[in-house]
Structure 1
Amino acid sequence: MQASHCIAVEPLTVVSDFEGASVGDIEIDQAARSINFMPGGDPERGWPCWWYFRIDGIQPDETITLRLHGSTATVGKQKPLSASWAMPARATHSIDGETWLHTDKGQRDGQRMIYTLKPDAASVYVAWGPPYTPITANAFVRLIAEKSPHAEAAELCRSREGRGVPMLYVREGELETQKRFGVWVQARQHAWESGSSWVAQGFGEWLISDDANATWLRQHAEIFLIPIMDVDNTATGNGGKNAVPHDHNRDWSPQPHWNEIMAAQRKIGDLVGEGRMDVFLDLHNPGPGDASFFYVLPRDMLSEPMLSLRDRFIDLAYARISKMKPLIPMSNKPKVTGANYHPLWRQISSNWVSMNGNPHTVSLCLETVWNSPNSTTEGYRAVGANLAAAVQEYLAERPAKP
């Protein structure tokens, strides 16, 4: 009789001991090669909708099934967060942790969303969306500074947990500071909204490019770009949104809780004092069913020229982003963040800058769609590049600083 050979199947394991990882309630069915899980994270540190982990032990040519359940965590008497925030239509995956792809469209099965993927590798990273951690942000600002003599890798501040907050500073030429437009771009006040950091990266990549309009912007403005504001929750895999005592985008008050907000207010205050707070952009991702759009203050809260200038900028940005290829869905109707929006509406960053800025300041929040087929690193970066081009087009219409 010929001897038979048994080949042991490597057990699947879930690994989450790295920056930005988050997963909870793990159950692995080794026979079915499937993983049941829910988002991890401390709900007191923000909405538990972010998930990101690595799967090891995958066999050649095998399909893995992910069975996602919404988090059951609560804070106080609050109800659990709606599962839709944790369930993108397509999950994100990567073999090397650098190139991020979408799975096929997931299938809803009762309280679970089911994704399948065939990674053709022994390990694969899976996530809610393309991760962007403080390590990524540090590497990005350093790379841009190495590529361009007009860019500096700086640090906004140290966080409450002692992490550096990377900042890119860009200017070119000999034009004196007082004659330059001031441009402030920040992302990720809500840690789970990873797509906003990729938008910021696209902005920075365009900014140091050889495009003639990028050169003009570098020569006529000084630009501050922060890819991640809430570095602590991003690093620890927490959601950030509605964190206790409040999240970063409800902290723009006379006495901020978060170090990042204190530092940003000081620098923006300097620009305002010099009459140079020209464009402020706060980058986010919206609800699961939303296209891209801008948040604005109610019209009756603004006076001229701020109102007309804001409208002009929105028109320019919409004209560029809405015509991008591949298409990133965008609405030309802004949403309002006034008194009916949130009890701390005055402490939202774009509102605070509008109310404390110069008469000509344009201050906006851009929400970039995350739940569409083109909500990828490439799509997000293209939004950032087009947003940067809109900033240049807008400022080129403005009179030179006296």
Structure 2
Amino acid sequence: MRVLTDFCGGNAQILNVEDNKVSFLPDLRDTDGDWFYWAFKVTGAAGKTVTFDMSPKNYVGPFGAAVSHDLYHWEWTGSKIGNGSGFTYTFADDEDCVYFAHDMLYHPSRFYRFCELHRLPLRIIADDNKGTPIPCLTLGVGKNTVILTARHHCCEATGDYIMEGILDEFVHNPIPNIKLIALPFIDADGVVAGDQGKNRRPHDHNRDYIEKPLYAGVRIVQELVKREHPIAVFDLHSPWHTGGRNDKVFFVRSVPEMRERMVELANCFAGRITPDAMQYDIVNDIDPGVEWNNIDKHITCGSWASDIEGNIFGFSLETTYFGESGNVVSQPKLIETGRCFIRAFADYLAAHGVN
């Protein structure tokens, strides 16, 4: 049996491998402090029952590890050990290569495949600091631009599923006079390398909206925003590992002047949620100055963009990694949530006569 991280998104310190037990921890690399992302593959374990232990950490979610055979389709193993310090998996006799992860990864090839399926004009807008291509997709025609971003923190995969749902809905039901620009991998280097991304030293991508940013992906967003003067910049994120509002979908209201508009959009979103989406309740949204939401508004993507003339919305949408009983994360549910979000945005625009 071998436990490896030699794939796009791989991350783990493999401490010990025995016949039926693997000990591991997240690889923090250039992370300041602690974080929870991990992903590895197992080969040569067919027919075995193996326990994967990461104690004293407890970064296995409430429904177990995410499991895949192709890095494209993901399910939950279904259970965890204790408070999340590990999980056990029984390999079928024909399971020669299995991927396990903290959450349902979104491999870059999935986005390329989505664009190819719909014959969308995907382009490489630049290379990241270490040479990884940064893709960009532009859809629609109109005087009003909307910019979508994801993976400022490269481990936060749920945002890309939300983005895929937004784009899928827009392809089939474009909003009149709206041009949509999507950047799915702001930290493209980190996505491929399997970094945590959050709290990266000396600062991470979503603290890089400064005069001279360190990261190529951030420079691209700044250039696009200054050129396009978008009416909205939606930055798609995942929250902390689990617990409280981290098990929900919620808006991060970072700009007090935007609160009233955000509440109205949130109500539109709640009204558009379908049974097939992750459920949403406005009570879980977080206001400026509450808990951790007290960051200088000029250094994060959404709040920096809110200072641009003509901007109506600049904020983060956070989508839980796992959900909770009765509202469990799956790939289809995340994608449907994205569809619901863009429908809600269309409702808001129509109500305010934005055209």
Give distance in 1, aligned partners of 2:266 and 2:37: 30
1:66 to 33, 49, 52: 52
Letter in structure 2 aligned against 1:43: D
2:298 to 329, 343, 346: 346
Q: Is the 8 A contact 1:168 1:225 kept in 2?
A: yes
Quote the residue 1:238 is aligned against. 195
Q: Is the 8 A contact 1:152 1:169 kept in 2?
A: yes
1:341 Cα offset (Å): 3.7
2:143 maps to 1:153: no
Quote the residue 1:127 is aligned against. 101
2:90 to 90, 99, 118: 118
Matches within 5 A, 1:2-401: 12-30=1-19, 33-44=20-31, 48-60=35-47, 62-69=48-55, 83-84=57-58, 86-89=59-62, 90-108=64-82, 113-120=85-92, 121-144=95-118, 146=119, 151-171=120-140, 177=142, 180-209=143-172, 214-215=173-174, 217=175, 219-272=176-229, 277-287=230-240, 288-289=242-243, 290=246, 291-299=248-256, 302=257, 306-321=258-273, 323-325=274-276, 327-328=278-279, 330-338=281-289, 341-342=293-294, 344-358=296-310, 361-372=312-323, 374-401=328-355
Q: Is the 8 A contact 1:187 1:282 kept in 2?
A: yes
1:298 Cα offset (Å): 4.7
Shift in CA distance, 206/106, structure 1 to aligned 2, threshold 3 Å:
same
1:137 Cα offset (Å): 3.3
SS of the equivalent of 1:325 reads: coil
Letter in structure 1 aligned against 2:140: R
Shift in CA distance, 238/69, structure 1 to aligned 2, threshold 3 Å:
farther
Give distance in 2, aligned partners of 1:246 and 1:327: 31
1:41 Cα offset (Å): 4.0
Q: Is the 8 A contact 1:298 1:338 kept in 2?
A: no
How much identity, in percent, do the aligned residues show? 21
Shift in CA distance, 236/354, structure 1 to aligned 2, threshold 3 Å:
same
Shift in CA distance, 357/103, structure 1 to aligned 2, threshold 3 Å:
farther
Give distance in 2, aligned partners of 1:45 and 1:59: 37
SS of the equivalent of 2:212 reads: coil
TM-score normalised by L of structure 2: 0.88
Give distance in 2, aligned partners of 1:106 and 1:22: 19
SS of the equivalent of 2:7 reads: coil
Q: Is the 8 A contact 2:152 2:185 kept in 1?
A: yes
SS of the equivalent of 1:35 reads: strand
Aligned-pair Cα RMSD in Å: 2.4
Q: Deviations over 1:148-187 (max 9, x none)?
A: xxx3212332211111111111015xxxx4xx32111111
Give distance in 2, aligned partners of 1:327 and 1:355: 31
Q: Is the 8 A contact 1:283 1:365 kept in 2?
A: yes
Give distance in 1, aligned partners of 2:219 and 2:278: 37
| Comparing 159-168 and 116-125, the one that deviates more | 116-125
Q: Is the 8 A contact 1:91 1:128 kept in 2?
A: yes
TM-score normalised by L of structure 1: 0.78
Shift in CA distance, 47/143, structure 1 to aligned 2, threshold 3 Å:
farther
1:116 Cα offset (Å): 2.0
Give distance in 1, aligned partners of 2:217 and 2:89: 38
Shift in CA distance, 169/320, structure 1 to aligned 2, threshold 3 Å:
same
1:135 Cα offset (Å): 3.4
Letter in structure 2 aligned against 1:262: R
Q: Is the 8 A contact 1:137 1:166 kept in 2?
A: no
Shift in CA distance, 378/319, structure 1 to aligned 2, threshold 3 Å:
same
Give distance in 1, aligned partners of 2:343 and 2:112: 24
SS of the equivalent of 2:79 reads: coil
Q: Is the 8 A contact 1:47 1:243 kept in 2?
A: no
Shift in CA distance, 344/244, structure 1 to aligned 2, threshold 3 Å:
farther
1:69 Cα offset (Å): 3.2
Quote the residue 1:79 is aligned against. none
Letter in structure 1 aligned against 2:306: S
Length, aligned pairs only: 344
1:331 Cα offset (Å): 4.1
Shift in CA distance, 224/326, structure 1 to aligned 2, threshold 3 Å:
closer
Shift in CA distance, 338/182, structure 1 to aligned 2, threshold 3 Å:
farther
Quote the residue 1:8 is aligned against. none
1:344 Cα offset (Å): 4.0
Q: Is the 8 A contact 2:72 2:106 kept in 1?
A: no
